[in-house]
Amino acid sequence: MSVRRSPGAVVGALLLTACAVGPDFHPPAPPAVQEYGAPGARSASPTVGDEPQQFHSGARVPERWWEALGSGQIDALVDQVLAANPDIQGGQAALRAALESAAAARGALWPGLQASYQGERRQDSGTLSPTLNSAAPIFTLHTAEVDLSYTLDVFGGNRRTVEALASTAEAQRFELEATRLTLVSNAIVAVVNQAAAQAQIAAMQRIVQEERAALEILRRQYALGSVSLATVGAQEAILSQAEAALPGLEQQRAQQQDLLAALSGRAPSQLASLDVELSALTLPRTLPLTLPAQLVTQRPDIRAAEAQLHAATAQVGVAEAALLPAISLSANGGSTAVQLSNLTAPGARFWSLGGSLSQTLFAGGSLVHRKRAAVALIDQAADSYRSTVLQAFRQVADVLAALQSDAAVLAAQSRAASAAAQNLNLVVQNLKLGSVSNLDLIQAEHDHEMAVLALLQARAARLVDTVALYQALGGSWVVTPSGQ
């Protein structure tokens, strides 16, 4: 016995059994590694020196991690960067555009409804077409119509399109977070470098003064015949080298100031000079060390690469759906009359219902090749994701090694500065006893200032690499619904 099914029952069955063709996306598994460095080279805390630091394994980066440096000026600068940097604002606009594109694509999942009205003045001769019952050859025809159309997403092509665009928007969201992290880190490093340049300028100015004093002593001794002209010339060369170092340091300070202005969305002339002393910056005693399995969920660039892989996976479904039949339903209804008041009359109404089924039979192989291209793009996105993860692990490993080296260098420079200070005190005491000359004192002061200069550079390098660790770990971010 045959069973007859109504068109509505057939459509309902298709909707109930509708599926989305193409592969479903599954996030890549976290890497099966426990350490960032080479096997056996476990990350130890850089506790060497007078400023020890401890790693807190498994800890997440604080939301406002830059506050660990203990500078209110840095805190205010970061807020300014986040609020006014044009790259961040451009990223926010790009995110809004991506979100709106995804929302627009969702409209294809719903029926389309259009209303129209048409009024036209006509003249029929009656030779080729009938005239009105009134036999009037000239009349006005009013037509009001509503059209309803719906393309059934039986195979999920539209849903895959929405999925791809939503994933692209998600990638844009994480790229915005990566931009924020990079700009904040760059701003903090610029502050540290500017403070270091200022401290080095002060130290170098003292060295220049000491070299000038030494030169004056040697010139007097040369006049008395106790030293040679070559000795005076050698001291003049040393003084010239010290003086030549000052313009470069001043240029570094000015360039960092200009960079800070640009990062905060201002022209160089619009940003007041920051007065941050290197000695006033706090070296964080405890540093977070996110586990490798957590890093893939914390680094915004990794999350962006994962979202791009998701979008590429969804595009395969879009390409597969294009190979399958397309089913559309349509309906329209309205009325037409020569008088507006008669549009609602029963005899003026018209309507129609329809459906269509279309299948591409031949397209020169373009649809098949588009699917193959989409599959290849999955491989590309997967390789890009893998490369991003490897680069992230390398960056963390490099920073951890740098922190170890910084601690050792800082400890050595600290010992050197301490020894130079002790030697200077000894020379001062011997000068009072008359066992050394003023030239010996100047040389001891010079050695001490050079040791202090090297110590400043070591301290700045350790602060910069501490900031680099926060950045390499992905910082800390919170994605808001608006994407701002």
Give the tens place of pLDDT for each residue, 186-230.
Answer: 999 999 999 999 999 999 999 999 999 989 998 998 999 888 999
Classify residue 478: in a domain, yes or no. Answer: no
- Token readout for 342 is 């008669």
- Is 143 in contact with 334 (CB distance < 8 Å)? yes
pTM for the whole structure: 0.85
Classify residue 4: in a domain, yes or no. Answer: no
Classify residue 364: in a domain, yes or no. Answer: yes
Position 51 confidence tier, pLDDT thresholds 50, 70, 90: low
d(CA 162, CA 153): 12
Question: Rounded to 5 degrees, what angle do the CA atoms 161, 319, 19 make?
Answer: 65
Classify residue 80: in a domain, yes or no. Answer: yes
Average of per-residue pLDDT values in the chain:
88
d(CA 409, CA 233): 34
Kindly report the CATH number assigned to the domain that includes residue 61. Answer: 1.20.1600.10
Classify residue 148: in a domain, yes or no. Answer: yes
Dihedral angle computed from the Cα positions of residues 473, 475, 480 and 483, in that order, rounded to the nearest 10 degrees: -90
pLDDT of residue 169: 97
Percent of the chain with pLDDT over 70: 89
pLDDT of residue 127: 61
For 277, phi then psi, to 5°, come to: -90, 140
pLDDT of residue 133: 66
Classify residue 2: in a domain, yes or no. Answer: no
d(CA 77, CA 84): 10
- Is 24 in contact with 163 (CB distance < 8 Å)? no
Q: Which domain holds residue 421?
A: 19-121+140-472
* pLDDT tops 70 at residue 15: no
Q: Which amino acid is at 29?
A: A
Classify residue 128: in a domain, yes or no. Answer: no
pLDDT of residue 14: 41
Percent of the chain with pLDDT over 90: 67
- Is 170 in contact with 102 (CB distance < 8 Å)? no
pLDDT of residue 134: 67
Number of domains forming the structure of the chain: 1
- Mean pLDDT across 431-446: 85
Least confident range from 57-66, 270-279, 283-292, 338-347: namely 338-347
Give the tens place of pLDDT for each residue, 221-240.
Answer: 899 988 899 989 988 999 99
* pLDDT tops 90 at residue 98: yes
- At 116 the three-state DSSP class reads strand
Classify residue 417: in a domain, yes or no. Answer: yes
